[in-house]
Amino acid sequence: MRLFFAIQVPDDLIESLMQAQEALHTLVGDDGVRWTRPEQFHYTLKFLGELNATRAETAVLAAGVVRERHKPFTLTLGGLGAFPSDQRPSTLWVGASDGASQLAALAEDLDQQQMNAGFKRETRSVKAHLTMGRIKTYRGEEAAARALRKIGGDPRWSDLGTFTVDRFVLMRSVLRPEGSEYVVADEFGFVS
């Protein structure tokens, strides 16, 4: 099983993200870009990779400890960026403003507990991001960099909606001919 922990975006905000993605898509085009399907919109907290059932259960037990230590928080979707940089984009994403520090604290706590349970520690610091598209060619990279320069500090991208994060999920990525499908394997509602 290919697994990762994530925060799902509620259905009522998917439409807002789809409109933002369509605006970005209009500027960038399809050449060399694989756009994220709306049902896959999420904020990754911790990627686990391929696990057998025993290791998956270990990860679930460690996540249970984490859920007891966090309280619900408000997360505002907003800000547009790219990894590794706006000049050489390979991934286009929407970030988070309000609540980004709580999301990072949750991800770091989850990472620490998973490390305590024998999983590999994350090597990169947490950056709240929801992937809108992945760049696959140089032509796509050029178009995305131009779009990012054009959008710049456009305030329309600063607030794409707000929701209360009161849980995180363990997602299973199932490979299909048309791409990955994400299925919720477990859910961890905050106790506090």
Task: Give bridge partners of residue 94 from the DSSP assignment.
Answer: 80, 130
Q: If 0-12 CB within 10 Å is exposed, 13-18 middle and 19+ buried, where does residue 76 land?
A: middle
Q: How far is CA 62 from the centre of its chain?
A: 21
Name the pLDDT band for 177 (thresholds 50, 70, 90). Answer: confident
Q: How confident is the model at residue 192 (pLDDT cuts 50, 70, 90)?
A: low
User: What is the C-alpha to C-alpha distance for residues 152 and 140, in angstroms, rounded to an integer?
Assistant: 18
Q: Decide: 95 and 183 in contact? Cβ < 8 Å.
A: no
Q: Which two tokens stand for residue 107?
A: 């991800």
- Domains of the chain in start order, with CATH, are 2-189 (3.90.1140.10)
What is the pTM (predicted TM-score) of this model? 0.92
**Cα dist from 46 to 27, 30, 39, 179, whole Å:** 31, 29, 19, 21
**pLDDT > 70: percent of the chain:** 99
Q: Which residues contact 41 (CB under 8 A, 6 or more apart)?
A: 9, 14, 17, 130
CA 165 to chain centre: 13
Sheet of strand 42-50, all strands in order from the earlier edge strand to the far edge: 42-50, 2-8, 167-176, 179-189
Q: Tell me the pLDDT of the chain averaged across its residues.
A: 93
